[in-house]
Every structure is written in structure tokens, then in C-alpha cells.
Amino acid sequence: MTNLLPMADEPAPERADAARNRQAILVAALELIRTRGVDCVTMETVASAAGVGKGTLFRRFGSREGLMAAVLNESEAAWQASVISGPPPLGPGAPPMERLLAFGHSRMRTNVTSGALIKAATGDSSARSRAAASFAVMHVRHLLHELRVSGDLVLLSIAILAPLDIMVIEQQQRDHISLDRIEAGWDDLVRRVVGG
């Protein structure tokens, strides 16, 4: 007999070799990205560096985009943790407005810093962008609520977050707009949206 407690639907009883390979792939990918830069890392390179076949990469991660998303996830999770339970003003404990501004600044700088990886992980319908965006919207919506903002908070959150997108930021940088100015502009936007 198996499975004394057939708990709900456990997503995936992953086989041992699969787990081992997955870890090896992620480690190899991270290292290669660090040394060569995202754009110079090919799936075949990662595969041979991890000591697996190319097919395995695609089996586990679906696409190059998926692999990059998995790599990105590790740092992203840490960032989300610091938003949820880190020190103020990013984490809880500061007034909502300060938290909101800190959140935007942090998100913006993070986007710039790991822009290449984020772009490599963000495609047309990437599962990654759904999850990441969802978290950000959730958080901003919550802060707007605490600030007693009224209206369609989900849409306002999306509107507030949109200018922080890497593509948008990079476009502005190409036009010689400094990060500080972008940041100040975003603060202004937020104050207008929140009102008062």
C-alpha cells in the first residue's frame, strides 16, 4: 500500500535524479550568467556545464525564458521576502506612504540592476511575469488601501507600477534621463494618484 495520507493533489512527486539535475542546471546557469552575461549563455552551454543533455533543460524549464525565470526567481524571492518582512521603510513598520515610495525605488533599482536577466525571463506569456507582477500589484494595492485611496485600486496599482518597467526605464535612459530624475518623477506621480 502507498500513500497513507493521500493529501490533496501534491503537485509533483519529483524523482531523485530529476531533482538532482534541476539543481545542477540552476547552479550552472547562475554561474555562467554571472561570468559571461545573460546574452552569451546558450542552452547548450548550460546543458553541458551541468552535465546533462539539452533535452533535459527543455523538459524541466520549458524554454530558455523559463530557465531564466527560474534563475531570476531565487533573487526575486529574496526581494519579496524583504518587502514582506524586512526592515522599514521597505518592510513593515514605516508609514504606508514611505513604504510605497521605498517600494518603488527598490523595484526600479532592482529592475535596472538585473535588467538583462529580467528581459531574458520575460516573454510574451511568461508564467514568471504573471507571478512577479501579481505580487507587486497585491502589495501596492494593499498600501493604497492603507492610504485610504478610493477607486479601482487594482488598476491604480498597475498604473503606478507600469512606469517602473525595465523597458520603460531603459527607454528613458536612452533619452539621457537620469535615474534620480526618473525616481523623482515617479514620486510625483504617486503623490498625485494618492492625493493630498
Partner DNA sequence: AATGAAAACGGACCGCGGTCCGTTTCGCCT
Partner DNA sequence: AGGCGAAACGGACCGCGGTCCGTTTTCATT
Sign of the torsion formed by the C-alpha atoms of 155, 156, 157 and 163? positive
Q: Which residues of 124-143 are buried (b: 16+ CB within 10 A; e: fewer)?
A: eebebbeebbebbbebbbeb
Instruction: Verify binding: residue 58, DNA, rule CB under 7 A.
Output: yes
Q: How many residues bind its own copies (CB under 8 A)?
A: 32
Distances in Å between the alpha carbon of 148 and those of 23, 135, 174, 186?
45, 20, 37, 20
Q: Return the residue of 6, 9, 15, 124 that touches DNA, per CB under 7 A.
A: 15
177 binds, among DNA, its own copies, none (CB under 5 to 8 A by kind): its own copies
CA 80, distance to chain mean position in Å, is 8
Q: Does 186 bind its own copies (CB under 8 A)?
A: yes
* Residue 2 touching DNA (CB under 7 A): yes
Asked if 40 is part of the footprint of its own copies (rule: CB under 8 A), the reply reads: no
Measured CA to CA, the distance from residue 129 to residue 132 in angstroms comes to 5
User: Contact residues for its own copies (CB under 8 A)?
Assistant: 119, 124-125, 129-130, 133, 151-152, 154-156, 158-159, 162-163, 165, 167-168, 171-172, 174, 177, 181-182, 184-186, 188-189, 192-193, 195
